Structure 1
Amino acid sequence: MRRYCRDQDEGRGGALDLWSDFSDGGEIRTKIVWLAAYCEIVKRVRPLSRLILLSAGLAAASSLTPVLAEDAIVVTAERREQALSEAPLSISVLPSEELRLIDADHIAEALSRVPGVSLNRGSGAEHLTAIRSPVLTGGAGAGSFLFLENGVPIRSAGFANINGLFDAHYELADRIEVIRGPSGALYGANAIHGVVNVIAPAPSEDFSVFGEVFGDTQDRYKFKGSVSGRQGANGFYAGASATTEAGYREDAGLDQQKLTLRHVYDDGGVSIDTIFSFDNLEQETAGYIFGQAALNDKRIRKTNDFPQAFRDAKSARLQSTISFDAGEATRVQITPYARWNDMDFLQHFLPSNSLEENGHWSVGVQSAVYHDAGSLSLIAGIDAEYTDGFLSEFQSAPRIFSFTQGQHYDYDVKAVNASGFVQAEYALSPRTTATAGVRVDGTIYDYNNKTDNGIVGRFLRLPDQTDKFVTASPKFSLRHELSDEASVYVSYARGARPPQTTDLYRLQINQTGDQARPETIDSVELGVRAGLGEQVDLELAGFFMDKNNFFFRDADGFNVADGKTRHVGVEANVRIALHETLMLSSAVTYAKHTYRFDRNPDDTPGVVSENISFGDDVDTAPRVMANTRLLWRPVERVSAEAEWVSMGSYFTDAANDHKYGGHNLLNLRAEAALTEELAAFVTVRNVTDELYAERADYAFGNDRYFPGETRTFGFGLRYRH
């Protein structure tokens, strides 16, 4: 590596020559990009270090801590606070300071810093998610990830939203926690591939006021504000944000408003933490563009063939966590909650362009009893929820192919979910801890069809029925402290979820209602956390996961109910203090996601494409992803960051006949204090003006893309008192 860097420094090409030699090799090309970037960093750091030393000499003290101490990082994987170093699973935390620096226009910008995680931005606030998985769509995309706000699911199990994170108030979040892989006993349905928990700010000790305004060259304007404080045993927080944008594409504007209210009462023995959240989204939606030529044309990529498309969504959530001591070593926590949401959108991604209306309201309670006695720690609880939901789909356009004009679906579903869990942690020695837990979820769906039964075009409407499912999610782990700075853990976990209601009742021809079964995934993981001196903080994880009863939609829009996939990969998250003012951070993932079954279209009436072979890559599953940042803080209230986001190539169809070449993006951010209370910040996203795709796909005989935004300059002011 040093030789290639030396050759490049002396003008002999080095890594850049290797790039040209392998310009057609996707994976090799990605590795060469890494090598070239490494060389560039080394070359830049040498002269920069002299300037840094001078800056450090002028500054009385640096505000950059060389390495984040894990004991100081608090996570809530057990529904209570614990040190990250004690969690025997892969969990990442994006703290408030980092979220403020990112000032994300979309939550995908923040989560790209987590290894193993990728969000494909759609139009406006829309997104598709991948956590140790390919990017999943349909019921799989909605049901494979558990999205929480302050520990409570944003949507009811079985009624999840594939774009579920646009409801969360990440714009003002105190932190975002991400659990990668099956989460274990304390979280239930939908926690198949991972959990995202967006946590609201707690009331401040003293009265505080915060405000922010921002605008950029995409005609995007953002406003945020909050007030917070305490009086005796009572604390309060009120925060609101609003975003309005014209849209990078034609007829693709967005308006969104969010509100979070929080009240905390704590007299030392009893605490009551109440949070109310509201979200209103109104957006015009741009559809796919078609063909590589359109993606690479600066004018055509901004066009929108679906100007009539839209998405309107509203949601409200209320929760109150009551905690009290029930003995010297026992604490009880009870969280009743209620939620409501309603959404209308045009399905521009289907030939029908049908209108879908869906929503649900639900009430529920989470409970947990914590007993910590010496070497043994026990957690047990019961969760219960009642949901009343609906879905309607109507096509006003004339019939196209098997998409018939008129009503496709119109049904209600009432659901009851009840779960019990227990987890035990025992210290086998001062440095070794074993954990075992299991969760059992029971689900009952009561389905009521409000239109005619039978087949209409490609759509199958079932008669009224009741379905019951029981799933179990065990987890076992062993954690050993190698030293005060290093630990290793190994774990086995099973994730399980009942089918989404759309998997069961939004059926198509050649299917019956009993085909969708509970999806399960078995995961084995080995992880290491280590601090190498005061300069390096390292996290490594390797995982092997097998998934059964994978329910997904193929390239012809037909449902596949019995898929099997395998997911094998390694993840690294490293932070290196190059100097007391300079931090290098990188999240790198290499993973292979493959089909473990065969499917021949000739054996499936009505299906004309999408041949799936055992061992093929799952589509939209890049093997290499990376996010690398260089953060410079020469003085306490000045910071600058360069971020490199690398997305490897991936197949866009299950037959592995079509491919997207991947992309590399460079983003710059900087912030400086103007006064004690006022700061200015600037952002430059996609510095090199890369013509890339946020999402690439092949379906209905076409290469399809959601184009990413070109170079964008932004400026904002931030007030804090």
Structure 2
Amino acid sequence: MSLKFRWGVALGIGLLAGFPYVMCMPVLADEAKQEALQPQMDQPQADEIVVTATGYGEKRKTHPGNIAKISGDEIRFVKSSQPAALLNRAPGVDIQQGSGVEHLTAIRSPVLTGTAGAGSFLYLEDGVPMRAAGFANVNELMDALTEEAGGIEIVRGPGSALYGSNAEHGLINILSRAPSEVPEAELTGLVGPHGVRELDGTASTTITRGNASHGFRGSFVLKDDGGFRDASGYGQQKGQLRYDYTAPDTTVRTTFTTINLNQETAGYASSYKDPAIYKANANPEAYRDAWAIRAASRIERDLGDGNRISLTPYMRTNGMNFLMHFQPGEPVEENGHWSGGLLSSFAHDLAGGHQIIVGVDTEYTDGYLREIQSSATVGGGYVTGTHYNYDVKALVVAPYIHTVWKLGPATELTAGLRYEFTRYDYTNNLASDLVGRFLRPASRVDTFSNPTPKLGLTHVFSDAFIGFANLARSARAPQTADLYRLQTGQDPSAIKSEVLDSAELGARGALDGLRYEVSAYLMKKRNFAFRDSNGDNITDGRTRHWGFEAEVAAPLWWNFDIAASASYAHHTYDFTDIITKPGYASESILSGNDIDTAPRLVSNLRLGYVFDKGLGRAEIEWVHMGEYWMDAADTQRYPGHDLFNLRTDYMLTESLSIFGRLENVFDKRYADRADYFCRPLPAGCAPRYFPGDGRGLYAGATIRF
């Protein structure tokens, strides 16, 4: 698929979904106008509904585990250029931004890289994974249409029995924006420093005929960012169509999403303080081109007598081509896959408030990966030529059961079990041998079986104090790149499924407008597979994780309000691995050491103010990033940073709003990501950074039709 065609698909969806409809959109009804002028208030926590836990929707207060929710109103107020600025408002989440749309994620974990970063987190769109199991991408949020989302739900730690591979350290569920009951349309434009331009649009209506309704929404996002570093920047286009059919006993929700990205990438810098260095780009040749298309339809039918059935068929395809600027030799990687599957569940409500949900998830994937180095051979076995060229066909079958038992008027027990079977059929398209440091295993078939139980308990002491506890195991089959993108001395048969055991205790409640949720957790992970700096293959690495998390929101006096989230975590190695290679001692692992890129304290505090009878809102945000070690031996430290951001939004008329944000108010020099990296001698080890941008003013307007 050509880049021009992909760009046309995304732009075409936006035009078809938005502009023609805007031109014929009737004026909002008087009642709808008045609602638009009122300040948007969050639902009381007792009534807040979340859908990620079971797929059918349940009250957040009785959910037996943590769950954070970012509302659609908050999404549209923050108007973040990248998902990181929005998601990092939730406790336990630390997404570190790289160049352009690139990022690395931490959810109750260190910031994980490579296949560990790709496989440890599950990214969903309306409950459907955005990428196939085994083929995840560490930058997967680039595929999300967060700008026009209806909400985002975040689960920290293992997901429920409904979610399998990749829902290990946590999951993020992007909820598409539902169709409106009355005709509406919005067009938002934004400009900022470094040539930033963004145009978002959405249009929606619902048609009712007899006892059935048909809801339609189309949304698009067009972005252009010149980048604050030399030879950097990106253009991105996103489009989404949603159709809802609602009848007395049947609902259907269908979405079609397409994403295209063309990026000129800036590589790591050796300093984040010296503008002559951090504004430069040592890798002006680096780039990333990617596209994705997804379609899914959730069909839910009420069978009566407390029985419901849900079927969600889906299909997706994606591809990516990028220069691996972070690797010696700078090879080019091409990868992609197409896949299809079916999520199915049957829910039965028993007398006494009990519930049983059983289901089977199936998925088939056909994927490929090519890696070619065109530059001259460099030290350490980074040779010129084709490193890898392989195809993988994958099958996943996962039956599960999720149950809720009413033990008393205020007590619920949740128990679930998922059994996930994964089969990889790998075909090597090159000679099966060792070329430099790159090992190409012979064609083979690998299978993995992972049972993951979960047990949770919730007790409502009062609306002000609701306690919950849960025990869970999560597991993930290795990513295909773990198994078949090997290096010297590796054996795919020695690589096992990664397993994480978790215990959590927490409470939530609401009192006089104040809402809170606090939790504490302890986790142990085994079968952490990686290649150490000696060149040895570690297949039984172990880590420990414990921490505390809190989020709170409350109204204050004189139209002020406050919201905050914070997490204190301790992520450590639970094994020892001494590096003996000269110059690489900083990568030695000692049991009990902090894992690198694992800040202990991360927090976010927002003070808001509503003015002019609810027509305007302003917010000041304080983002605190604690210090963390940059290397495995805990010898190189990043000192952390504090950033302040200002945002405001004001409704001039019922059809026109203006907004602005001032990022990094005090022009703090900081690093979005700090790392310590070892290259083959004589280069050795040195710090490297993705520098953060300086002070920047963004402004725009929203027109409603």
**Is 1:407–2:386 an aligned residue pair?**
yes
CA distance in structure 2 between the aligned counterparts of 1:556 and 1:268, rounded to whole angstroms: 64
**Aligned to 1:99, what secondary structure does the other structure show?**
helix
Residue in 1 aligned with 2:64? Answer: 88
**Is 1:120–2:96 an aligned residue pair?**
yes
1:484: Cα distance to partner? Answer: 2.8
CA distance in structure 2 between the aligned counterparts of 1:66 and 1:322, rounded to whole angstroms: 29
Deviations 1:123-163 (A, max 9, x none): 10111000000000011000000000111000000000100
Name the amino acid aligned to 1:471: N
1:80: Cα distance to partner? Answer: 1.7
**Is 1:224–2:203 an aligned residue pair?**
no
1:68: Cα distance to partner? Answer: 4.2
1:322: Cα distance to partner? Answer: 0.8
Q: Cα RMSD (Å) of the superposition? A: 1.6
Deviations 1:433-452 (A, max 9, x none): 11110000000000000011
Name the amino acid aligned to 1:482: F
Answer yes or no: is the 8 Å Cα contact 2:61–2:509 preserved in 1. no
**Aligned to 1:170, what secondary structure does the other structure show?**
coil
CA distance in structure 1 between the aligned counterparts of 2:436 and 2:319, rounded to whole angstroms: 27
User: For 1:268, which of 218, 240, 248 is the aligned residue?
Assistant: 248
Name the amino acid aligned to 1:83: K
User: For 2:347, which of 370, 373, 395 is the aligned residue?
Assistant: 370
Residue in 2 aligned with 1:704? Answer: 688
1:74: Cα distance to partner? Answer: 3.2
Alignment of structure 1 residues 558-707 onto 2, 5 Å: 560-579=538-557, 581-602=559-580, 610-634=587-611, 635-700=613-678, 701-707=685-691
User: For 2:293, which of 300, 316, 328 is the aligned residue?
Assistant: 316
1:581: Cα distance to partner? Answer: 1.3
1:337: Cα distance to partner? Answer: 0.3
CA distance in structure 2 between the aligned counterparts of 1:235 and 1:716, rounded to whole angstroms: 29
Percent of residue pairs bearing the same amino acid type: 43
Residue in 2 aligned with 1:280? Answer: 260
Deviations 1:25-70 (A, max 9, x none): xxxxxxxxxxxxxxxxxxxxxxxxxxxxxxxxxxxx9836598434
Deviations 1:277-310 (A, max 9, x none): 00000000010001xxx31112321100100000
**Is 1:194–2:170 an aligned residue pair?**
yes
Residue in 2 aligned with 1:51? Answer: none
Residue in 1 aligned with 2:477? Answer: 498
Deviations 1:609-659 (A, max 9, x none): 511000000000000000000011122110000000000000011111111
Residue in 1 aligned with 2:111? Answer: 135
Residue in 2 aligned with 1:720? Answer: 704
CA distance in structure 2 between the aligned counterparts of 1:419 and 1:347, rounded to whole angstroms: 34
Deviations 1:507-546 (A, max 9, x none): 1112111222100100000010022x31421110000000
Alignment of structure 1 residues 462-611 onto 2, 5 Å: 462-531=441-510, 533-552=511-530, 554=532, 560-579=538-557, 581-602=559-580, 610-611=587-588
Answer yes or no: is the 8 Å Cα contact 1:62–1:633 preserved in 2. no
- Structure 1's unaligned 5+ residue stretches are 1-60
Answer yes or no: is the 8 Å Cα contact 1:137–1:552 preserved in 2. no
Deviations 1:402-429 (A, max 9, x none): 1011111000000000000001111100
1:551: Cα distance to partner? Answer: 2.4
1:577: Cα distance to partner? Answer: 1.5
Residue in 1 aligned with 2:17? Answer: none
Alignment of structure 1 residues 234-245 onto 2, 5 Å: 234-245=214-225
Answer yes or no: is the 8 Å Cα contact 2:585–2:633 preserved in 1. no
Answer yes or no: is the 8 Å Cα contact 1:352–1:400 preserved in 2. yes
Q: 1:123 to 1:330 in 2, by over 3 A?
A: same
Name the amino acid aligned to 2:691: P
Answer yes or no: is the 8 Å Cα contact 2:420–2:449 preserved in 1. yes
CA distance in structure 2 between the aligned counterparts of 1:327 and 1:582, rounded to whole angstroms: 47
1:557: Cα distance to partner? Answer: 8.0
CA distance in structure 2 between the aligned counterparts of 1:289 and 1:668, rounded to whole angstroms: 28
1:485: Cα distance to partner? Answer: 3.0
CA distance in structure 1 between the aligned counterparts of 2:395 and 2:386, rounded to whole angstroms: 28
CA distance in structure 2 between the aligned counterparts of 1:328 and 1:569, rounded to whole angstroms: 43
**Aligned to 2:85, what secondary structure does the other structure show?**
helix
- Count how many residue pairs are aligned between Structure 1 and Structure 2: 656
**Aligned to 1:295, what secondary structure does the other structure show?**
coil
CA distance in structure 1 between the aligned counterparts of 2:597 and 2:544, rounded to whole angstroms: 14
**Is 1:358–2:335 an aligned residue pair?**
yes
Name the amino acid aligned to 2:268: Y
Answer yes or no: is the 8 Å Cα contact 2:371–2:388 preserved in 1. yes
**Aligned to 1:165, what secondary structure does the other structure show?**
helix
CA distance in structure 2 between the aligned counterparts of 1:560 and 1:218, rounded to whole angstroms: 44
**Aligned to 1:237, what secondary structure does the other structure show?**
strand
CA distance in structure 1 between the aligned counterparts of 2:436 and 2:86, rounded to whole angstroms: 42
CA distance in structure 2 between the aligned counterparts of 1:605 and 1:462, rounded to whole angstroms: 29
CA distance in structure 1 between the aligned counterparts of 2:483 and 2:559, rounded to whole angstroms: 55
**Aligned to 2:619, what secondary structure does the other structure show?**
strand
TM-score under structure 1 length normalisation: 0.89
CA distance in structure 2 between the aligned counterparts of 1:178 and 1:345, rounded to whole angstroms: 29
CA distance in structure 1 between the aligned counterparts of 2:142 and 2:238, rounded to whole angstroms: 10
CA distance in structure 2 between the aligned counterparts of 1:607 and 1:414, rounded to whole angstroms: 38
Answer yes or no: is the 8 Å Cα contact 2:50–2:153 preserved in 1. no
Name the amino acid aligned to 1:464: S
Residue in 2 aligned with 1:16? Answer: none
1:101: Cα distance to partner? Answer: 1.0
Name the amino acid aligned to 1:415: A
**Is 1:76–2:52 an aligned residue pair?**
yes
1:257: Cα distance to partner? Answer: 0.2
TM-score under structure 2 length normalisation: 0.91
User: For 2:315, which of 329, 338, 343 is the aligned residue?
Assistant: 338
Residue in 1 aligned with 2:12? Answer: none
CA distance in structure 1 between the aligned counterparts of 2:412 and 2:558, rounded to whole angstroms: 35
**Aligned to 2:697, what secondary structure does the other structure show?**
strand
**Aligned to 1:125, what secondary structure does the other structure show?**
coil
CA distance in structure 1 between the aligned counterparts of 2:514 and 2:688, rounded to whole angstroms: 42
Residue in 2 aligned with 1:43? Answer: none
Name the amino acid aligned to 1:323: E
Name the amino acid aligned to 1:428: L
Residue in 2 aligned with 1:53? Answer: none
Q: 1:380 to 1:176 in 2, by over 3 A?
A: same
CA distance in structure 2 between the aligned counterparts of 1:211 and 1:663, rounded to whole angstroms: 35
**Is 1:440–2:424 an aligned residue pair?**
no
**Aligned to 2:147, what secondary structure does the other structure show?**
helix
Residue in 2 aligned with 1:306? Answer: 283
Answer yes or no: is the 8 Å Cα contact 2:320–2:335 preserved in 1. yes
Residue in 1 aligned with 2:22? Answer: none
Deviations 1:645-682 (A, max 9, x none): 00000001111111100000000000111111100001
**Aligned to 1:425, what secondary structure does the other structure show?**
strand
Answer yes or no: is the 8 Å Cα contact 1:67–1:534 preserved in 2. no
1:326: Cα distance to partner? Answer: 2.1
1:472: Cα distance to partner? Answer: 0.8
- Structure 2's unaligned 5+ residue stretches are 1-36, 679-684
CA distance in structure 1 between the aligned counterparts of 2:693 and 2:443, rounded to whole angstroms: 46
1:486: Cα distance to partner? Answer: 2.0
Name the amino acid aligned to 1:275: T
CA distance in structure 1 between the aligned counterparts of 2:627 and 2:543, rounded to whole angstroms: 19
Q: 1:282 to 1:555 in 2, by over 3 A?
A: farther
Residue in 1 aligned with 2:83? Answer: 107
Q: 1:397 to 1:303 in 2, by over 3 A?
A: same
Name the amino acid aligned to 2:98: G
CA distance in structure 1 between the aligned counterparts of 2:232 and 2:640, rounded to whole angstroms: 25
CA distance in structure 1 between the aligned counterparts of 2:398 and 2:171, rounded to whole angstroms: 18
Answer yes or no: is the 8 Å Cα contact 2:299–2:312 preserved in 1. yes
Name the amino acid aligned to 1:519: E
